Structure formats: structure tokens, C-alpha cells
């Protein structure tokens, strides 16, 4: 060992550096990044729009024009071949052409068309009614150009 002893080396921290103060350059960078973020996100915002929807229920009342209800007609075909329109008997059971029934249907259809209403026909056929008689009734409706037809089968319920 050498007889030379040195004391511990001390490194001094430089405390002589001047105070940097407020740095504006990093703040400008941060502001630009935030501004860029908001510009990009502004395009992703979805615009809320009102959707025109109508819920089931009562239709809104138009005060300008009255609501036209459809004309409902009940045609009965009995087992005997008798054809009735709203309980009024037409033609004979032997007459396949049903001229009076057809002319009445034509008048009803024309009157409903003039009012702008629909004609809805319900055919009530008795269980033992002949199919060809129902076909005669359908042929009369085709001549009158009535297309809204529904069928029911009459049965006695006690």
C-alpha cells in the first residue's frame, strides 16, 4: 500500500445552472395534440335525428278530409241455393247468372268508388251449400270487380 491516502472523491452537483423558467414550446406541442384530438373526434360524433315513426293504435285524425270507412256487405249462400245480400233475397236458386244480384253489386261498387270507400264482402256459406252456387256468387263479384272477399262457414252454436 502506498502511504498516500486520498480522501473520498466528491463530485459536486452543478447547482450553478440558471433557472429555466416556463417553457412555452412543450405547451404549444400539447395544445396542438389536444386540438388534433378534438378535430378528429368531431367527425365521429353522430348527429341525432328525429325518426318519423307511428305507433300502433288509433290513426291520427285528419281534419281536412273525413276518414272513409269501408262498406261491408254480407252475402249468404243457403243450402237451398238462395243467395241473400244483407238479408235481402236475390234471384231464384235455379238462376246461375244471378242478374239482379250482379246489378246490385255493380251499383254498390260504383257508389263506393264515387265516395272513395272500399267494398268488403263476407260470404257466409252454410255447411251443406253447394260449391257451384258459391262459384256463381264469386262470378257475380268478378263482374262487379269486387276483390276484397272473405269466407265464413255458418254453423249453429248453442
Q: What is the pLDDT of residues 67-77, one digit of tens each?
A: 556 678 899 99
Q: Scanning the structure block, which residue is given the C-alpha cell 270507412?
A: 69
DSSP assignment letter at 67? P
Annotated domain spans of the chain: 71-154
Note the pLDDT tens digit of each residue in 17-43.
Answer: 667 778 888 899 999 999 999 988 887
Is-above-0.75 flag for pTM?
A: no
User: CB of 77 within 8 A of CB of 138?
Assistant: no
Q: Tell me, rounded to whole angstroms, the distance of Cα 55 from its chain centroid.
A: 9
Can you give the pLDDT at residue 30? 93
Q: Domain spanning 71-154: which CATH class is it, in words?
A: alpha beta
pLDDT tier at 157, thresholds 50, 70, 90: very low
127 CB contacts (<8 Å, ≥6 apart)?
79, 153, 154, 155
Residue 36 pLDDT: 93
pLDDT at 2 over 70: no
Residue 56: alpha-carbon gap to chain centroid = 9
Could you write out the DSSP letters of every residue in 18-29?
A: PP----HHHHHH
54-95 confidence digits (pLDDT tens)? 777 665 555 555 555 667 889 999 999 899 988 888 888 888
- pLDDT for residue 158 is more than 50: no
Amino acid at each position: 500500500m502506498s502511504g498516500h491516502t486520498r480522501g473520498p472523491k466528491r463530485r459536486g452537483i452543478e447547482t450553478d445552472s440558471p433557472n429555466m423558467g416556463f417553457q412555452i414550446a412543450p405547451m404549444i406541442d400539447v395544445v396542438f395534440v389536444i386540438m388534433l384530438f378534438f378535430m378528429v373526434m368531431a367527425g365521429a360524433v353522430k348527429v341525432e335525428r328525429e325518426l318519423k315513426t307511428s305507433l300502433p293504435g288509433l290513426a291520427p285524425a285528419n281534419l281536412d278530409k273525413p276518414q272513409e270507412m269501408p262498406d261491408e256487405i254480407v252475402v249468404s249462400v243457403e243450402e237451398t241455393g238462395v243467395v241473400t245480400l244483407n238479408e235481402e233475397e236475390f234471384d231464384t236458386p235455379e238462376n246461375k247468372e244471378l242478374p239482379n244480384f250482379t246489378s246490385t253489386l255493380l251499383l254498390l261498387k260504383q257508389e263506393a268508388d264515387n265516395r272513395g270507400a272500399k267494398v268488403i264482402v263476407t260470404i257466409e256459406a252454410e255447411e251443406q251449400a253447394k260449391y257451384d252456387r258459391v262459384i256463381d256468387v264469386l262470378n257475380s263479384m268478378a263482374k262487379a270487380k269486387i276483390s276484397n272477399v272473405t269466407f265464413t262457414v255458418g254453423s249453429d252454436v248453442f
